[in-house]
Each structure stands twice: as C-alpha cells, then as structure tokens.
Structure 1
Amino acid sequence: MAQPDSEAADVPLYLRVAAALREDLAQRRVPPGSRLPSERSLSQRYHVNRQTVRSALQLLRDERLVVTDRRGTFAAVPEVEPEPTVPALTARRPTFPGGPRAAEALVRASLLWEAPPIPLAPRLLLTPGEPTLVHRHTVLGPQGAALQRAVTWFSRPALAEIPQLSRYRRGRDCRQQPDLRLLYHWMHQAGLRITHRESVRVPPAPVATAAGGTARLSVHRVVTDQHGHALEITDIDFSAQSASWTYEFSA
C-alpha cells in the first residue's frame, strides 16, 4: 500500500486497507465468488498487522461485499433484485445513477470534462467557464426512447478529496459506461460526512425536451460535506409514467 499523504495520515489503517480491497472488488480484480488472499498475505501486501486486516474484512462483511466461512473469505456474489413495477419514493439513502444495471443494453453512461452552467460554478467552487468532471447517465426504453436522464457536475473539493474521481484527469482516463454506483461509499471512505438534499418537482407540461414523454418528474440533488461544500450536483429527469425512482437509506 502506498505511503499515505498528509491528508490521508489521519485515516485509520484498517479503513485504508478496506478502501483498497473495496476498490479491487468494485473493479472486478477479485471476481464475485473468488477467494481473497489470506490474512497473512494481505498483512504483508499492505504492511499492516493481521488485526488491522481482520478489522478491514469485518467492515467489508458488514457492507456485504465479502463473506467468510471455514474455507476463507470470498467476494460476495451480487443478488439480482427485481425492478419495481411502479414508481417508488421511500425514505432511503439515494443511490448514485452511476452504471449499467440488469439490462446493460438499455443504459448509457459517460464521463467527460466540460464547464457547468454559469449559475452552478460558484456552488462547485469553480470559476465561470472552468471545466470539471461531468457524468451523464441515460436509461432507454425498449424502443430507444429516453426514460431517464441524469447529469452530475463534480466540484473542486470532490475531485481533490475522492481518489476514485481524481484519477480521471482532464483529457484522459474518461471512458464510456463508467460505473460510479459506489460514489457515496467512496465519499465515506475519504472521511467525508455527507448530506443529501433533494428537491422534487413536476415541471409544467408539456415540454418538448421531456425524457420519454410529457409526464415528467425532476429531481435536483445537492450532496455536501461536513463543511457545507458541495461535492456534486445532480439533475435527474424522468418520465413519471414509465420509470421509477428509488431511495436507499441506512441509518
């Protein structure tokens, strides 16, 4: 494990080990169902003692990312959950619309660098016209119509504090179909205490640019850190007749 910089020095060792293993799991460097290296191997790899490794693995077990039995510790096999048949609004933590789901052919996502709308720049701690990392996510219906669109602008603090985002340097490393579904986990592991603020509205109808039709529901999401700095601003627009929006929450 690389030597910590000054900003990461206060992060407990077991959290840094858990973060490295979580990244391996997310990137499928350890495929679902595969066995993780032994505690001894992990302690040697990350230059920590075995108790630190055990604490990191316990955290991943609590997150249901790994399972342990008498044979060892294995990457969890994701459960396939049925898609809801009706729109659902429940009091749960919002998930980031970050990657392909069950029907990958119906999802399009991309990362690029561009300047946000001028009114958003100060909120993102950017100068007017300054590019930032932008994520676009579209869910398509069987006939190719856009059922849901989401666009997210990341702030200067987000790119500085979240290693998984900072690797997407301007002009390189941006790619199609990026999977950012673990974004909020990345924020937590970076030591950020985040607050979500959602504004939901039904825009005046009909609008020619409505996603999937004239019946729309729009969501404006602002995620801030413990200092009140915006980390990301997301606008979600979807057809209220044919798509659903689900909150996920853990206390």
Structure 2
Amino acid sequence: MNAEQVESQQSLEPRALRARYIDMLTDGVSPDRLKEGGDKAVDHALMATALSAVCSGMGEQDWLALVLDPKRRLGQQAKFAKGHSRTALAYRRYLSKVWQRATEQARPAALHDRDRYREEARRLVARWDDALPRLLEEAHEIDAMIIAALLDRMVEVGSPRVAFARRPFQEATGVSERRFRTRLAALERAGVVRLEARGKSGGPRARQRLANVYSLSGPERLFDRAGSD
C-alpha cells in the first residue's frame, strides 16, 4: 500500500449516482410541477441528473442507460416537447445535448472535486498505512484484509468513497464469504467501515449501480473501541 499512488489516479468519485437522483429519474417531475413548468421542468430535472452523473464520474452511456430504462418516469416525460412526442432521433439528439451541457457546466467543479477526493483519499491511506501492521500484530487479520481491500480501491479510483460490489469485495480480501460477511458486519457496527449507499439497480446496462458505496473512518475509531472493550 502506497499513499503516493493516489496522486497519479485520474478517476473521479466512483460511478454510483446518488440516491436522490436515482429517485428523480424514477419518479419524474410531479404533476403539479409539470403543469406549472412544462417542458422546462423536465429539462431542469434531467439536467440535474446529468450534472450529478458527470460529477460522480459516470460516462454518457451509463447515464443514458438510466434515462432510457422504461421504469424511469423522467426519461419517458423527456420524450415529449410542446405536447408532442419527439421522434426517436430527435429524442437521442436532445439527450446528447443535455449531456453536453452538463459536461461543460460541470467540468470546473469536477476537476476541483477530483483533486479534493484524491487528497482526502491520500490522507486516509497514509493514516491506515501505519495502523494495518498493528491490526495484524493483534491477530485481526481478516479485518486488516477488508480494510486493505477498501484502501486499494480508494487508490484505484482516487476517492475516499468507493463503489464495491460484494462479490469482488470479498474476493479482493482472499477470505471465505462467511468470514467476510461476519467481519464486515462487525466493522460496520463499529463505525470503521461505513455503508454510504446501498446499491440499486440502474437498469440492465448500468451494472455499476449494483455496487454498494463504502467509506472508512480513521483507524482511531477501531483502536479506541478495542481499548474500551
């Protein structure tokens, strides 16, 4: 584990759209807002989801997979303009323009966030680098493997919040599924590993959304708890 590796990463925050925007896509614009704002209300809502997607590191195809999912009401509402249904070609062009606008608006903020995420991850990795040997000395090998897997993921994506599907997460630790589940649950109860967002299906093409999003506290919480037991 090398904290300096974080500096070379170019990724943004993990590709997991926040629950608020998943709900926005799913629920669409309310009838009252639609009546009051019409097409602009739909456009603003769609733009908000695109901005969030850009800032969270999603690609256009991942975002489109969410919008085009028939279960997402906002995408269905966006098929209409001035009371008429858009043609398939016009609809795709409209969505591409929304994504382009979001990319242009989000770029300065995204670059700033990328640097901030990388710095937060670098500091957290550095703090845990000194603590992991102590965990091993105190016979908490599985806990150390789980934490090390999360830290490696943070280095990979350059963020202190990481999307990690359960099976790849378990396989990265090298321990059995049963022991992994038991110790991960214990670390979550202790507040060391935090489940920031539980993965939700984003449609058949948006597989990343099936991953949970995790973060880590500092090592002090783990050792403070151990000292009080």
* TM bucket normalised to smaller: under 0.3
- State TM-score, norm by structure 1: 0.25
Work out which structure has the larger RCO, using CA pairs closer than 8 Å and 6 or more positions apart in sequence: 2
Larger radius of gyration: 2
- State TM-score, norm by structure 2: 0.26
The structure in which a higher percent of residues are helix is 2
